[in-house]
Each structure stands twice: as C-alpha cells, then as structure tokens.
Amino acid sequence: MLAWTGVVYRGEVVRNPQSTFPGWQLVILLFLLPAFNAAAGAQTQPSSEPDQLDAATVRSMLKRIAELEAEVKDLKAAKTEQAAGDNAVTKPAHPQDFYAAANPDVTISNPQILEGRRGIQFRGFGDVDFQAGKSASNGFQLGIFNLLMTSRLSDNVGFLGELVMDVDSNGMFQVQPERALLSYTPNDYFHANLGRYHTGIGYYNNAYHHGAAFLQTATGRPLLFAFDDQGGVLPIHKIGLSLTGRIPSGALGLSYIAEVGFGPSSHMGMGMSGSNQMMTVTDDNNGRAFNLGFIARPLPWHPVQFGFDFYHADRTPMGMPSFSENIYAGHFLYLAPSFEFLNEAALIRHSSAMMGTFNTLGFYSQLSRKWHAWRPFVRYNYLNAPQMEPIFTTTGRQNGPSGGLRYEVNESVALKLQFDHLDRRGLSAVNVATMQTSFVF
C-alpha cells in the first residue's frame, strides 16, 4: 500500500503529514474534484437572466392591458344597447317589465340604452289596411303614421314626443301631438312624467300606443280601449303629472301608478259623439282628474300580472248638471313569448243628484298562440252603456267576437287577416274583414 503526504487541489499540493489515503480512494478523489470545481464555479458565476424586468416595460404592459379592457367594455356596452333597442321596438311589452309595459317604446327609462345617446332619436310606425264588409268605406285605408322621438337630456332626465298623422271621421288628414313628456327617472322606485301622456288605466292603454299596430297582435284595439277621439269611453289621454315606480314587496312584485291632470271635456259636437274627451286645454270645471293604480306580479307565476285602478273626475255636459265620474278597472293576464291571455274589465259610474246614477260596463278577453312566424288569435268585445246615458250618448250596447291570423314577415313587417262580428242595440249587426300590413322603421 502506498502512502501519500499531500493532496493535489487546484494544481497545488496541500501537505497533511497526518493523513494517508489508500490508492483506490485517491483515484476516486481525483475524479470527483473536477465536478466540485464546476459546481463551485456555477454558484459564484452571475446569472445571465435579469432578476427583475425593466420598470418602463412593466408600465407599458400595464397601460396596454388597461386599453384592451376599455375596448372590451365598450364593445359589450354597444352590444347590450343594440339588443335592448331591438327588443324595445320589435317586441310587445311583457308583464314582468313594468316600465316597458308602461312605456314600451320609451327608451328614456332605460339608462343602458340612453348611455351615449345625445340628441334626438327617431322611430316610425305605420300600417296600410284593406277592409271589406258592411261599411261605406270599403277598400284601402291608410292607418296611423307615427313618429316617435326620444332624447336624453341628462343621466336621469329625458324627453319623449309622439306625433301622429291619421285620417279623421271626415276623411281629412290631421296631425296631433299624442304624447309630449318630460321624464325624470332617478331610480326604479320613482319615475315622474310631466306633460301629455296615456293614462295608466288597465294594461292595454300603456302597452300599445298609437303607433302599435305592428306590436299588437290584432289589427286594432279592443272596444273598451278605443281612442277617446273615436268614441271611446275611457280617458285615454291626460295633460298633467304621472308617477310610477316599484313598491318593495318581495315576492308580490308590486308597482304603483299615481296620476293627476285635466279632466275630460263633455261638450257636445266636438267629434264623433258626445263622449269626445280630447279637449285638453280646458276643463269642464276646476276639479282635476286623478288615477291611482296598483299592479302585482307574483314571482312563482312569472308571466302572470293582475292589477286594479280607480279613476275620478267631475264632468259637466253642456246644458246638464254636473256628474261625478268614477271608474273601477281591473285586469288579469298571462303573457309569455309564445302565448298570451289578456282579460280586462271596467265599470264607469256617472252619478248626479238630479239625474241619478248610470253604469256602463265593458270588458274584453283575448287569446293567442304563436307557432314560429304564425300567430292565430281570438277576441271577444263587450261594451254596454244605458240608453239614457247623458255622456255616452252614441255608445249603446256593442258586443261580438273577432278572430284572425298574424304572420311576421321579419322583425319589421307583419301581415294580419282579421274578421269582426259586432252586434249593436237597435241597429243591424256589422261584419268586417280586414287585411293589414303593419311595419316599424
């Protein structure tokens, strides 16, 4: 066995007189020394990769990420606005959307739609009809041509104007501002509208306005909700203040309507009949008309809606004593995208100390079912005013069924075919077939 007095380390001999190594141990040590040297060199050599990124590069990357996030947010907002706008115009209001039902074509109540919409926005509605039956006006007729104008004035303030051009009972064209509203909507619990509005009595009057021939299922409105300048019995229009909003009520889903404005005019000779109520610059007396209503949508039955309204006004027909007018109206409906079942009724009481009380009852029921682009429908109308009614002098009793078929050509055009049968007290029955082309643009 050989004995060594030193160890070779990094080219130098280190003397250790007390250490001796066997030969095979020395050989192993000589092979391991280069590996130890390489590891030590790797530990002492600086890293070729930087430990931290340059600060300017980090700031640039963060700025670019913020820009991309802003672009994505803008694209999402634009998509939401477009979808909401299409739904507001091309689809009837559903009962779960109370403010859409109250103003289905009013975009001023939806901040998402109004965001970024400064200036005035236009929408148009129209229809062309062909009627045949026991009538002196058989043939083509131009229906209502409607221009709807909306404008966002600030985050919570907007304006709505509805200009209607149609043909009066004398065959002459007339232009009327049917609605002109300044709206203030700070939250879901308080919406204020000041100006000329459609009263909140029932459901139909605020779900389908003048230009709603395309939106509504049938070719026309139920008898109960005929426009007041066409012999209707309900006060369709008012000038004044209208308040609407939600009531915190949990699963009941309550909402309220409170309105005050000019009462209707009862003067004879102003239109089709003595029931004309379109005079809105004066009143029969100093009393103001008001309406108070409540709507409920229980959450377990989402498409279901029911409500009740109470309306009061004082009326003084020319040459007659004053009457107190009280209207009690209720509605129940089931309204889903492919199925609708509408039911509304109203009792109109005219009371006078000298002439007694007169009760006029009206209701309608409508049922329809949609299959793809086709929607068949049926409706029954009933309206009965007493023979000696001092204000509804030409209403009488009218009742009968209607039925038809609606076909949606696309999102902007609809074709309808409808047949109406109407029985009248003291007069012969009326049968009318109507073909209608309605559109929105």
Where the chain has pLDDT below 50, the residues are 1-53, 83-116, 267-280
Distance CA 222, CA 219 (A): 10
Which 3-state string (H, E, C) describes 269-330? CCCCCCCCCCCCCCCCCCCCEEEEEEEECCHHHCCEEEEEEEEEEEECCCCCCCEEEEEEEE
Sign of CA dihedral 76, 78, 81, 86: negative
What confidence tens digit (pLDDT) does each residue in 279-299 have? Answer: 445 555 666 899 999 999 987
What confidence tens digit (pLDDT) does each residue in 402-427 have? Answer: 999 999 999 999 999 999 999 999 89
Q: How far apart are the first and last CA of the chain?
A: 110
Indicate the helix (H) or strand (E) that contains 362.
strand 356-369
| pTM recorded for the entire structure | 0.71
- Exposed (0-12), middle (13-18) or buried (19+): which is 63, by Cβ within 10 Å? exposed
Which 3-state string (H, E, C) describes 391-423? CCCCCCEEEEEEEEEEEECCCCEEEEEEEEEEE
The predicted pLDDT at position 136 comes to 56
Residue type, 306: F
CB atoms within 10 A of CB 329: 25
According to DSSP, the residues that pair with 157 across neighbouring strands are 184
The predicted pLDDT at position 222 comes to 96
The predicted pLDDT at position 5 comes to 39
Share of the chain above pLDDT 90, in %: 48
What confidence tens digit (pLDDT) does each residue in 27-56 have? Answer: 444 444 444 444 444 444 444 444 444 666
